[in-house]
Structure 1
Amino acid sequence: MELKRKKVLLAILCAFLPGTVAAAETQYTEPVTGMIFALIPGGCYSMGDSAGDGDPNERPVREVCVGDFLIGTHEVTNKQYKLFQPNHGSGSSQGASLDGDDLPVVNVSWEDARAFAQWLSTQSGATYRLPSEAEWEYAARAGSSQSRYWGNSVDDTCTYANVADLTAQQQWAKWTVFPCSDGYAAAAPVGSFKANDYGLYDMLGNVWEWCEDVYNSEAYEKLPKDNPLYTGSGEYRVMRGGGWSNGPLGVRSSHRVGLSPGFGHHSLGFRLVKSTP
């Protein structure tokens, strides 16, 4: 009964958002870039290394609660980012172009990603931002408590994610790879793989994604339960999800890494959150 009530309330909320489309009125199409945002119902979950295969900075596992939020169903593409920075080039890697219109934008810093969000907010009159680390993991898990939103096994990975695989190993022989072939040696067009249960694509694999938080290896011991966001002192910012050059250890829902906010690389991009009324 409570779940049914929540779905009704979410449908009512979306009915008053301009640009809503089908899928039970739980999606919003941003008119400037055409990005689609999915409404994620808030709730509580076990954040961190609940599967027992992670790093110390993913512990202690703790209950975290987040409110409703809208998040991009896909990573921001080169075409969308170039509306903001027409001269941006995502470059290439070992001869593989990363600059196609439908490929995720890469070689963007945390500062670049936040500047894009601010630009889009100004253009559209709505508020866009990077997801908090807690929101990102909640969205990636989509109700799962396993290593990846499709389960703990690595065998099904290439159905759901573009990762370091047998295809990539033909070019990068020393890589540790997943035992499958996803068909892409480098980045794939966004949405090429199966979505998670929230209808979100590439939450794991394809490219890493910037989060809003300052990185702290002991953040899980310091933050509150409700809508945590670490904004304390720290040199780095959080990136999540792993990318096309990562093997099994790097492509997990709880995996977290810190990187300088002024730095970008060939498998690091982002997606945005739209603030709800």
Structure 2
Amino acid sequence: MQIAPLSLFVSATLLSLSVSAQDTATVTAIESERTEKQAELDNYTQVLDKHLSEETRLQAQLDLLRQRSAELDKEKNQALDAMNDIYRRLIDDPSLDISAAQSRYQQAVAEHKQNKEDIVMQLAAIASHRKDIEQIRVTKHTLVNTIASLNDQLSTARIERLRNEFSREGTLEVDHTINCKRTETLAACEQRGQQLGLQKATKHFIDQIFANLTEQRVVEPKRHLAGAQVQVVSSHVVGSAFSGQGNYSVNLSVTMRGDVNNSRLCSLLNLDNRYCSEYGSPLAVGYQASYPTTFSDEQLTFSNELSKSAPVVSVARMPAAPDIKTEVAPQPPKNREVELTLRSNVYDDEVFINGVSYGSTKLVVNLPTGMHDIEVRKLGYEPYKASLNLRRARTLNARLVKKPESIAAPTPKSEQTQPTQQANVAQPVKVVTPDRVVNETVIIPAGSFKMGDLTGNGLANERPVVEKVLSHSYVMQSKEVTVAEFRRFIDSSQYVTEAEKGKGCAHYKNGEPVWEIDYNWRSPGYEQADDFPVVCVSYEDAKAYANWLSGDQGMQYRLPNEVEWEYAARGDTTSEYPWGNEIGRNQANCGWCGSEWSNKSPAPVGQFAANAYGLYDTVGNVWEWTQKRASQDDVTVRGGAWNFAPSLARVSTRLALAPDFRANYIGFRLVRER
């Protein structure tokens, strides 16, 4: 007997619409705030341009006044000489009229004096104008950071909305008719009809979910990457009947809930995978998936023939009873493998799982469900140990702590003068004073590079891209100058920083820079240790440290210029960051970068992997002062900070500040002349 064409009538109602509305409202609110802040930024940019033009005009007027000062000074001297000459002649000829000479000299003196007063007033006007410019620039930086953080919040909200939309629950009513086979019993025909109806219902439910996605146009082209699934919550037969022609008709009511592979949401929305890292590893490149429509009689299973790692959704087999009520409770199969992601705060470590070495972090490995012993080791650090009951995909962040260093070091062989047979005699030791440890330096080779915004994602002041050549190698400190190093300078020189003798140090409060009178390098507003980067230091403070260190070490130290800084920070790459164009998670300490210090404080220096030239923390941690050119009034900081968005930690990002500005997110490192 031929099977008659299948018919399917589906009416569906997707629930959780209120949740979706809330998610959309959140996204809309963030977009609205971002638009508002962008308008503010555009306005401040225009205001800054006008102020800069006005400053140029005022400076030009000052230059003219200074030129006129020289001319008036010359005229005054000539008038004085003329008057002295006529006074000498007056001795021989008392009838001479000297009034013209006197008037000329009096006028020259008055004009010269007025010009000097005009210069003083012009300098005051320029100084006041520059303060306004500095404030506008700080406000602009704040807005840039706010917009960048809103972009992060928006991406997170979009991901959450998409996840909730995929997780909707709904009830479908299915009318389904099939033609019974000659060889099957009525019970078997009944069961097959119900199975095929359920199969069609689940497929249509997925179609309904995709059709109702808020960002359906963005997601649909990548539908095969979603790993979308359906869980049957309950189902029952509303009505069924056999016809005289051997047809079986059934009306099913099926309640289902959607599900999705959360780690793939970022790929669906074309977002950085760091927004989905809490859900597991991102989708493997080249993965292809499909939604088969064939089911076995033993179990209705959405199978994936193209990838064993693809999720499989099982729907319980429909029993033959006329009234079906099925609760599907997903149970993980025995020996099921799940994904474990391991990270640590150190570089070049070694991971042991159940006593077996798996290499170094970052590590992604599939392990059977159940208990596992995890250990992360590195020479000089206390091992990290954990027992983990693995039931689902997990990310584990291992925090290794340095072992206490002994202050006693064995005498070098060159200093051992005692015979071998006296090995048991106590040998003299050297005492290492921790605060005299010099910041390690690395050699930056000569070369050329393209400086600026290479990807088109940067700010206006990163363009145009310029080819730069460094004809000589130079030496740079591998880490930012620490609190301990700066303290040695203070103790030796009795130097007083600008924050300590001025109005304190700036910090971010509720998204705005605020001056705090009590903040300085000793107390920056958060707990710090000796190995934290020193902050709350101005450009002049950094230069003073460089001058002192030059004398202390007998070598010439200075701040790097912008070309030297960017060339070294790039580490022979052309990407946004030394490791690629995505910030990732826990690769650096910046706002929303996934480190344990993000948006809290700087990290101890050197906690993240160095770049190809051996430099640490060129991304995030603290902004770093660079040396200004003679023609510059402002100074540029580079590298981003612990409380600034990842997009501002790119290698080409630059912010202009006043030389006397200081904040608890700005530090520095030095270069050494070779």
Please confirm whether the aligned pair reaches a TM-score higher than 0.5, indicating the same fold.
Answer: yes
Matches within 5 A, 1:1-277: 33-66=437-470, 67-86=472-491, 89-93=521-525, 96-97=526-527, 99-156=528-585, 158-159=586-587, 161-165=588-592, 178=593, 181-184=594-597, 185-213=600-628, 230-232=629-631, 234-276=632-674
AA at the equivalent of 1:48:
G
Q: Which has the higher helix share?
A: 2
Equivalent residues, number: 210
| Greater share of strand | 2
Provide the rounded CA distance (Å) in 2 between the counterparts of 1:204 and 1:48.
15
Are the counterparts in 1 of residues 535 and 664 from structure 2 also a CA contact under 8 Å?
yes
Aligned CA RMSD, in angstroms, stands at 1.6
Contact 2:524/2:536, CA 8 A, preserved across alignment: no
Contact 1:209 1:270 in 2 (8 A): yes
Q: CA deviation at 1:62?
A: 1.2
List gaps (5 residues or longer) in structure 2: 1-434, 497-519
Q: CA deviation at 1:204?
A: 1.1
Q: Kindly state the Cα deviation for residue 231 of structure 1 after the two structures are TM-superposed.
A: 2.4
Offset of 1:40 from its aligned partner? 0.6
TM-score, scaled relative to structure 1: 0.73
Amino acid at match of 1:182: S
Q: In structure 2, do the counterparts of structure 1 residues 90 and 239 end up closer, same or farther at CA, with 3 Å as the change threshold?
A: farther
- String of CA shifts for 1:200-250, please: whole Å, max 9, x gaps: 10011000000002xxxxxxxxxxxxxxxx321x33111100100011221
| Whole-angstrom CA distance in 1 between matches of 2:469 and 2:534 | 30
Paired with 1:250 and 1:90, the residues of 2 have a C-alpha distance of 26
2:199 corresponds to: none
Distance 1:140 1:242, change over 3 A: same
3-state SS, counterpart of residue 254 of structure 1? coil
3-state SS of the aligned residue for 2:552?
Answer: helix
Deviation at 1:186, TM superposition (A): 1.1
CA distance in structure 2 between the aligned counterparts of 1:190 and 1:116, rounded to whole angstroms: 18
Q: What code does the residue aligned with 2:615 have? A: L
Quote the offset at 1:192 in angstroms. 0.6
CA separation in 2, counterparts of 1:138 and 1:162? 21
- Mapped contact 2:521–2:537 kept (Cα < 8 A): no
- How far apart are residue 33 of structure 1 and its match? 4.5
1:153 counterpart letter in structure 2: E
Deviation at 1:146, TM superposition (A): 1.0
Is the 8 Å Cα contact of residues 76 and 269 (structure 1) preserved in structure 2?
Answer: yes
Is the CA contact (8 Å cut-off) linking 1:69 and 1:275 kept in structure 2? Answer: yes
Shift of 1:79: 0.1
Relative contact order, higher structure (CA 8 A, sep 6+): 1
Provide the secondary structure at the position in 1 that maps to 2:647.
Answer: coil
Secondary structure (helix, strand or coil) at the match of 1:163 reads: coil
| C-alpha distance after superposition, 1:171-201 (max 9, x if no partner) | xxxxxxx4xx211121110001111111110
TM-score, normalising length from structure 2? 0.30
Q: 1:243 to 1:90 in 2, by over 3 A?
A: farther
The letter for the 2-side match of 1:91 is S
Distance 2:539 2:440 in 1: 21
Tell me which structure has the larger Cα radius of gyration: 2
